[in-house]
Structure 1
Amino acid sequence: MATAMGSDSSGGAGSSGPSAEDLLRRADAARRSKSPDADELYLAACRAASQSGQTGVLVSAALALVGHHRFGTPAGTLPALLHQAYSAAGPPERGRLAVALARLWVYAGEAARAAPFAAEALDTARASGDPDDVAAALEAGLLTHWGPDDFGARTPLCAELEELTAHTADVDLRLRALCWALTSALERLDGLALQRRLRDLELLARQSGAERALFYSQCRRAMAALLAGRTGEAEQLAAAAAASGARAGEADAYAVEHALGGEIARQLGHAPALLRAEAARYEDYATTEGVPSILAQAAILWLDAGEPGHASVLARRIMGDGFAGIPRDVDWLLTATQVAEVATRTGDRAAAALMAGVLEPYAGRGVVNAAAVSFHGVVDHYLAGAYALLGDGGRAEKHRAAAENAYAALGADWWAARLAAGAGDGTGDRGPAAGGRAGHRGAGSRPGPSGHPAGALPAELLFAPGTPGIWQIGRKGAAQAFPARVGFSYLRLLLRNPGKDIASVDLVSGFDRALRADQDTGGPVLDPRALAAYRRRLAELDEEIGEAEDWNDPDRAAAARSERQEFIHQLAAARGLLGRPRALGPASERARTSVRKAVAAALEGIAAAEPDVARLLRDGISTGRMCRYEPDPSRPVRWLTDPAPRE
């Protein structure tokens, strides 16, 4: 085809071909019309602009190329073109090109090479102050911190990206931020956050009218339907996503279609011939492109197709010499868990022992394919299967219980059914796909309940100040001592008021009297409903104090008085002169940020010594302008928030 190659691609001085500007215009038109010629035209524009020294055209064409580069494909000649533009550009274009270079190298599987560009992009964007540039640079930083050991670094970046893009008009930036939030929710097993982000995606698609937003929403909702075992609904959504992805010209539509198709085939229990065909497609692509995670998924499909010997061969090929050769990138955890499943279900004790050791540090984590494209269970599920094969019943039961709780929190009933089917006497298939098929549920069907049985006794967890400067947190009788943090006070107040919204400004004002000196402008801190809820709680506390005094229970009365005093402080902080409601403004925004950071730091500190308690808190606590603790009925807990009486 001569439209973008041959003489047309020269475009430089003395050439009779089209100019760089003309090639760029033709490329943009081809992209809008979904023409397959678009990429070649952009490449031609890059070459022509490079020869003629037109940096602006080079930047525009190079950024357009990277914006449609497929995940998992080699970078080709693009880095050279981008780096030429990057070297010639000044701010802000240089920072935007650094973002593009970081994205390109990550997509090509070279995260280490991408990291310096992402760091420079963020520094440049913060210096410029442009919120969209900062958001794009933050996303580049997330891409370069997508490995299994980077979860702690991803969490604050993800939160900041979500805050920055909450008010952006850039639909693509907002989409990417929501997908990161969705991925984070799955990784940390936060079912409530998962549902909120799915609703946000659906709303963005509807309000923006953008085909790309519709594609993102449909394929992520298909993922969620598969998670719950609503396979019929997932099929419909996957088909709709394939159509909207084609209309949008989405670069990754084909990969997403096959990722969802493979999981749908597993859930439906397709005939072995169909599963073998899908497995062969996965294996061919993985072998051609050199992608271990897709080869691991091919092994699972071969296993489900009744070919355990070939599945084991592929798993052993991936493991190599102790699994050390697998890059610790976005696909590492997915690859490790799929290999562990093959080892467990084929009875390969040596491989299962190796993979249990590899996966143990990541217990408590959800397994996600790319940016929430598909969900692959929780690490504890795979560990339970491996330890059952190895005859370590204690560890197997510990991880099985953790997986059961995680699936209940996520509403992952298909996975919960798999866990139950593989939790027998330790013989036969033990992996996440063990047991009978769940069957084909219709689009409107809903699975039955899972999780703890009704009436389960709640765990008693201590979360209270102890001696001055020390807090006691953990299971009653075995709590850990933690140095005091302001976030502990915020968390304690939320735990004492389950299911109730509390404004960040109220949390802060209870512990930071300086906030009340601020002069804010804007809407009221507490609306009439919130004020009424506060007054109801104060009345309840008055009754509790009276009852405690009648029953001669001084400790209970003192605790209720302490809580009542905290609420009075908060109400006072929310009222201005003459009792008028205080307004939102700079102080309320600082309060929101302060609470978010303090709670995040507190949870991180707890996780170091009490990871199960931290996970439970992360699942139930949400922060923002309004904060809330929503208990999980499948994991009943009685929080002991009063200091133990001194002897």
Structure 2
Amino acid sequence: MKGGAVLAIWAADPEGLAAELDAQLDQLAVFRERRGRTTLLLMDDGADALWLAAKLARGELPGAEAGKHRVVIAAGRIAVSGAGLVGRPVDDCVALLGASADGTTLAVGAIGEIEAPGVERARLGPEATGAALWQRDIWSLEWPGGDRTATELPSLLAGLERESPFFGRLADIEALESAWQGSVQGGARRVAFVSGEAGVGKTRLLARLAARLAGGGATVLYGRCREDSEGAFESLAEALTIEGEPPDWARPGHEPDSELEVRAAVASRLAELSESAPVLLLIDDLHWADRATIALLQHLLDADPAIRGLAVAAFRGQEVEEGTPLAAALASVRARAETVDRKLGGLALPAVSEMAESMLGEVDPGAGELVEMIHAESGGNPLFARELIRSLSESGALGRESEGSAPVGAISLPASVTETIRRRVDRLGEEATETLKFAAIYGPEFESQVLARAMGRNPRDLDGTIAAIERAGLIVQRERAAYAFSHALVARALVESCGPAERGHIDRLLAEALEEGIEANMMARSEALARHWLRADPPDPERAIRYCEIAGQRALAAFRSDAADELFSAALELHGEESDIRRCRLLLGLGRAQLHSGAPEFRDTLLSASRIALALGDDELLAASVLANNRGMFSASGVLDPEKIAMLEATVERLDEDAPELPLVLATLAVELAFSGEDRRFALSDRALEAARRLGDERTLASVLIIRFVTIWTEWTLRERLENMAEAVEIADRLGDPVLQWRAVHWHAVALLQNGEVERCEELVEREVKLARRFGDPVAIWMSTYTRANMALIRGRLDEADELAHEAMRVATESGQPDAVLTFGAQLVMFRWEQGRMAEVQAPIAQIAADNPGVPAFRPAVALACTEGDMFEEGHAVLARDYENRFAGFPPDVASLAALTMYSHACAEIGDAEIGAHLYERLEPFAGELVYAGISVWGDVEHPMARLASLTGRHSTALELIERSLARFEAIPAPTWLARARLDAARIHLGRGRAEDRARALEYLDLAVEGAERYGAATVLRRATVLRENVRAGELIAPISSGRGGGRKRLGMQQRPILSMEGDAWRIVSEGRQIQIKDSIGIRYLAELIQHPGVEMHAVDLQAGPQDARVSAGRNGDAEIAGDDAGPVLDDEARSAYRARIEELRSDIEEAERFNDTERVSRLREELEAIAEELAAATGLGGRDRKTASQAERARLNVTRAIRRTIARIATEDPRLAEGLDRAVSTGSFCSYRPLDGAESWTVRIGERS
């Protein structure tokens, strides 16, 4: 989902309105959807939504007559799905349209408080709209003066509005509109000036202002001053030419007697026009205005009678020099009138991103970095940005399916950009052009003294040239003698204008000039020296390599890993393949740069450095290279890296016992053995810590303590890890090293969270995020991001947590983390469990478990996903397999406690008391801790213990434990954990079965339903709702018994229930109640299962029909179903057919609504929902096709959804019956109906559909 505003319009003539929107307003809308007479527009900007609402309210759009439509605006999180726009703001808009009257405009929440010209607002109470359910402000908006007729725009401005989308500049528009209102309504004489460089968008801003004010009835006059103008007053003659008729004084053959005559005529005509409507006079390119025009504009301020309106003049600020007539006139106007000055800079990054999307239709998410580069290169100048986007698109580097990998600098500048820059440079003369070439090759910033030495110029003379260039706006002064180009594109254009020989010669002159007097500043200038010597002609490889190595080390120290990568790579290319000490040093530097920039090649680069150092016998470089080849913990989750381990072991053998590198080498070897299952890692870590304390070096000690955290991480070591990290943070803060501080703070936060100190943990997470951003290491950013996701989940912000998890996945993938998918999968399991959507990820989690046998914690996740999807038998099979060896496959490590916790929750749902008793004993020593595996967090230990105690009949113990969890979750607060614990507390009370338990259970269920509904915990909501209805009806659910002894019990279903097909509906009679359910595929599947109790039927055969389903029941349960090859869930043809059917259904629904055929509407909407779900299920992350393994997998998903949807519909009529079916029906690859103990068998009658 994304943030935005949705504007809903109910129109009397939707076709006419839609046509007008097609023609004029698509540039404002990200997405448009029609629903009968309602048009929904998704817009990025709430202010644009208000502007459009004003035009509609005043009847300024054809097909939208004032008073004949309704408008509602809401903002928030909105998504575009296969079925159209979805999200709370969409629901609000649609519902409020139904509650409002024709001619009204309503706004929901804060969007109603946004300032907009001419709006009058009133806050409405819930009773005014029947909208008590919103629980937030509803605003009524009105724009008085809606009877004014929109006026036509001058052709040039109208063309810009029609063909050139408008981006950003909202503050500028608001300031100019405010000046307009003050001038028109307040009578003040105001003038507005818009200034900025060429291409910055001055004319486009005038066009947008003109369009908005013309919509309110303003008369818009527009004229341009021209560089090659041959006569005076040309811009005003153009402005006052109306319907092709120029003013009398400008007609061919007419020569005015004097300037005074023209002044009087212009003032008189403007005053005359302003009597019927206020006048917006726009004068463009004022920097080229002649003296007479300037004087006339000054005269208009004193005109009598006063002109009702606003004059806006646009000009290039850098071309208005002091002492010129225009500069004097501007000063005079500012002194005599109220002026509004808007100095336009470059567009902000979001506006440039919108521009790219507008030009390309859609930008691949991977191209975001490229758009940032476009913004940086162009300085946000719309002309330059637009031309770069077009050029990159044509080259294939930017577009719908591009990877965004090609740097902007690799694409030649478009001719339109270079021509614009060339004209600006040529105006300054040859001397300035040569200076600019040297400056551009020097770099984005340059020093005048270095340029003077390189060019052989007198510094004073050069300063005069530079001052003229600065006045022209091509460069800006940074410090006393340093300058920078105003746009990177200016420097690029100048560099590209030089041939290779000329550029190499200038590079050599600059390098030699930089070396003069270098003793005082050699380190600071090393990167510039490296760059120039690399390109110098004639070349000097030795100097280039030397400066590259020095500059590379400086870049690493400044956390500029990308620059370091480039410098070390260039040096290695010049050095060649000789395996000497210098090559080893360069590889070490390159490997460090690659690690910190997120390039996965760092491993092999550093192993190469280690091999050279080992062969040369250089122990210092060997230790440095093996220590650099580590990301601060194990190399990858669940696997070992034999080559790294072998090199570390070789390093340990070579180092003396008192070598300063030994403690860290031992600690790194120990952490690389984290998933080996060997106890040797503990001994190595102990030895490393002893050696570090003996060495007495604080940095080494802190580093060893930090690496030790993961090495010894088991459920038994929390106390020691807390103490170690407190010490490490203290040392890191004393040293002030941000990298060391981040690592210590991160792991200390993990330990605090495990210890239940959530507030302290949150404080440290905020700090680690700031530290990670400071030095930009991708591993740190990745780990900080997924930690933020965990904190958001604990606080119940599930949508935010989901977004952060996906962001962490992006960072991990882009930086080549080998366990990116695995860690994302671990978080996804946790999020989907909290959201009640875990069944959705059962198949992919099972695949991850199969692909990562070294991470056994994914097997409990599979079992838990099965139970969340009510596939209890499949979940029990996974649980039982690991119980056979008493969970010996879960050695003490990072994830072992989380694995036991997941299995405990699954076991409680499945109902196996024997396994539950064993798991209870495994958890008991860790009561009081939160279950945190570093990547995912699973509540506290007492919660699953309480469920297991209840399962094994120890209800008093269970109640004591669950009360502790409830108190902890309420204190944190952790709302989704609390809702789930309240549901389980109710179950425990009902399981105990005392007289007072029923009332207490209902209290907990009420709270569970409220919390689950508020925070989006769907499974908790469903189970708590059904259980509450049963309890209120006096029918308790029996306590869960051992799954091996028969599973669950349900009391009271004594009558023989009936399921009978009658015409287009099914009649269900149960326990004296009778309901009707419309015919659907789901009820037919259910009837087939109920008709054959205890028989397993494969989902493929259920889809094929009753006969095939019964045949499959006789097959061996392990028989495989032959499937087609893997491919998209829906191919293009099927997807197109679905979308075509959606349009047909919407049309049919409109027709049925017109004839008040509610039954048909209901049936059609049911089909529409089913198709929308199918499309959503077929679409994965980023809108890509979701793949499915086989026909059997598709059948499993579709049959499960259909049956569960049918049971949910039954629950709306008979919750008790639905609860029984929910527990008795198993879905999955094989489906079955197994009657609960004591339940009567069904009578099923299947006739023919009428």
TM range, smaller chain: 0.5 to 0.7
* CA–CA separation in structure 1 for the residues paired with 2:652 and 2:767: 35
Higher relative contact order (CA 8 A, sep 6+): 1
* CA–CA separation in structure 2 for the residues paired with 1:58 and 1:51: 9
Pick the aligned partner of 1:409 from 957, 965, 971. 971
Worse-superposed segment, 342-351 or 402-411: 402-411
Question: What displacement does 1:137 show?
Answer: 1.4
Tell me whether 1:71 sits opposite 2:645 in the alignment: no
Q: What runs of 5+ residues in structure 2 fail to find an aligned partner? A: 1-571, 992-1000, 1002-1007, 1017-1250
Question: What displacement does 1:299 show?
Answer: 1.9
* Partner SS state of residue 377, structure 1: strand
What whole-Å deviation, never above 9, does each CA across 1:295-332 have from its counterpart, x for those lacking one?
A: 22222123223322222222222223333553123322
Superposed CA RMSD in Å reads: 3.2
Equivalence for 2:669: 101
Pick the aligned partner of 1:333 from 887, 892, 897. 897
Question: What displacement does 1:93 show?
Answer: 1.2
Tell me whether 1:368 sits opposite 2:922 in the alignment: no
What whole-Å deviation, never above 9, does each CA across 1:75-131 have from its counterpart, x for those lacking one?
A: 32322211111221242111221121121112x244621122222222222233221
- 1:311–1:342 contact (8 Å) kept in structure 2: yes
Question: What displacement does 1:221 show?
Answer: 1.3
Larger Rg: 2
Please tell me the residue identity of whatever aligns with 2:870: G
Equivalence for 1:391: 953
Equivalence for 2:841: 275
Pick the aligned partner of 1:222 from 781, 789, 793. 789
- 1:83–1:101 contact (8 Å) kept in structure 2: yes
Question: What displacement does 1:356 show?
Answer: 1.2
* Partner SS state of residue 148, structure 1: coil
1:592-631 aligned at under 5 Å gives the runs: none
Worse-superposed segment, 239-248 or 15-24: 15-24
- 1:24–1:41 contact (8 Å) kept in structure 2: yes
Tell me whether 1:342 sits opposite 2:909 in the alignment: no
Please tell me the residue identity of whatever aligns with 2:733: A
Question: What displacement does 1:347 show?
Answer: 0.6
Tell me whether 1:82 sits opposite 2:648 in the alignment: yes
Please tell me the residue identity of whatever aligns with 2:959: E
Equivalence for 1:160: 727
Pick the aligned partner of 1:44 from 603, 608, 612. 608
**Count of equivalent residues:** 422
- 2:595–2:631 contact (8 Å) kept in structure 1: no
Question: What displacement does 1:217 show?
Answer: 2.7
Question: What displacement does 1:141 show?
Answer: 3.4
- 2:671–2:681 contact (8 Å) kept in structure 1: yes
* CA–CA separation in structure 1 for the residues paired with 2:596 and 2:727: 32
Pick the aligned partner of 1:297 from 858, 861, 866. 861
- 2:592–2:602 contact (8 Å) kept in structure 1: yes
Equivalence for 1:132: 699
- 1:171–1:213 contact (8 Å) kept in structure 2: no
Equivalence for 1:438: 1012
- 2:637–2:855 contact (8 Å) kept in structure 1: no
- 2:848–2:858 contact (8 Å) kept in structure 1: yes
Please tell me the residue identity of whatever aligns with 1:438: A
Worse-superposed segment, 25-34 or 66-75: 25-34
Pick the aligned partner of 1:314 from 856, 878, 883. 878
- 2:714–2:894 contact (8 Å) kept in structure 1: yes
* CA–CA separation in structure 2 for the residues paired with 1:157 and 1:15: 41
- 2:789–2:801 contact (8 Å) kept in structure 1: yes
- 1:295–1:314 contact (8 Å) kept in structure 2: yes
- 1:103–1:114 contact (8 Å) kept in structure 2: yes
What whole-Å deviation, never above 9, does each CA across 1:251-304 have from its counterpart, x for those lacking one?
A: 5543332222222222333384x3223322332234xx3322222222212322
Change (3 A) 1:250 1:171: farther
What whole-Å deviation, never above 9, does each CA across 1:400-435 have from its counterpart, x for those lacking one?
A: 01111221232211101100112224479x9xxxx8
* Partner SS state of residue 629, structure 2: helix
1:476-495 aligned at under 5 Å gives the runs: none
Worse-superposed segment, 386-395 or 181-190: 181-190
Equivalence for 1:258: 825
* Partner SS state of residue 376, structure 1: strand
* CA–CA separation in structure 1 for the residues paired with 2:793 and 2:865: 16
Please tell me the residue identity of whatever aligns with 1:389: L
% same residue:
25
Please tell me the residue identity of whatever aligns with 1:100: T
1:567-606 aligned at under 5 Å gives the runs: none
Change (3 A) 1:338 1:348: same
* CA–CA separation in structure 2 for the residues paired with 1:204 and 1:259: 25
Equivalence for 1:188: 755
Equivalence for 1:492: none
* CA–CA separation in structure 1 for the residues paired with 2:782 and 2:987: 43
What whole-Å deviation, never above 9, does each CA across 1:449-507 have from its counterpart, x for those lacking one?
A: xxxxxxxxxxxxxxxxxxxxxxxxxxxxxxxxxxxxxxxxxxxxxxxxxxxxxxxxxxx
Please tell me the residue identity of whatever aligns with 1:375: V
Question: What displacement does 1:29 show?
Answer: 5.1
* Partner SS state of residue 423, structure 1: helix
What whole-Å deviation, never above 9, does each CA across 1:343-390 have from its counterpart, x for those lacking one?
A: 111011111111112212221111111x3x221011110011111112
Tell me whether 1:150 sits opposite 2:717 in the alignment: yes
* CA–CA separation in structure 2 for the residues paired with 1:221 and 1:145: 24
* CA–CA separation in structure 2 for the residues paired with 1:16 and 1:145: 38
- 1:292–1:318 contact (8 Å) kept in structure 2: no
- 2:645–2:669 contact (8 Å) kept in structure 1: yes
Worse-superposed segment, 305-314 or 20-29: 20-29
What whole-Å deviation, never above 9, does each CA across 1:207-252 have from its counterpart, x for those lacking one?
A: 4455444333321111011112211111222233233344555555
* CA–CA separation in structure 2 for the residues paired with 1:54 and 1:384: 59
* CA–CA separation in structure 2 for the residues paired with 1:35 and 1:210: 11
What whole-Å deviation, never above 9, does each CA across 1:586-632 have from its counterpart, x for those lacking one?
A: xxxxxxxxxxxxxxxxxxxxxxxxxxxxxxxxxxxxxxxxxxxxxxx
* Partner SS state of residue 937, structure 2: strand
Equivalence for 2:569: none
Looking at secondary structure, tell me which structure has more strand per residue: 2
Change (3 A) 1:112 1:392: same
Equivalence for 1:232: 799
Worse-superposed segment, 198-207 or 346-355: 198-207
Q: What runs of 5+ residues in structure 1 fail to find an aligned partner? A: 1-7, 443-647
Pick the aligned partner of 1:379 from 934, 941, 946. 941
* CA–CA separation in structure 1 for the residues paired with 2:965 and 2:677: 32
* CA–CA separation in structure 2 for the residues paired with 1:267 and 1:357: 26
Please tell me the residue identity of whatever aligns with 1:382: P
Please tell me the residue identity of whatever aligns with 2:892: R
* Partner SS state of residue 986, structure 2: coil
- 1:82–1:101 contact (8 Å) kept in structure 2: yes
Question: What displacement does 1:26 show?
Answer: 4.8
* CA–CA separation in structure 1 for the residues paired with 2:858 and 2:739: 27
Please tell me the residue identity of whatever aligns with 1:225: A
* CA–CA separation in structure 2 for the residues paired with 1:124 and 1:83: 16
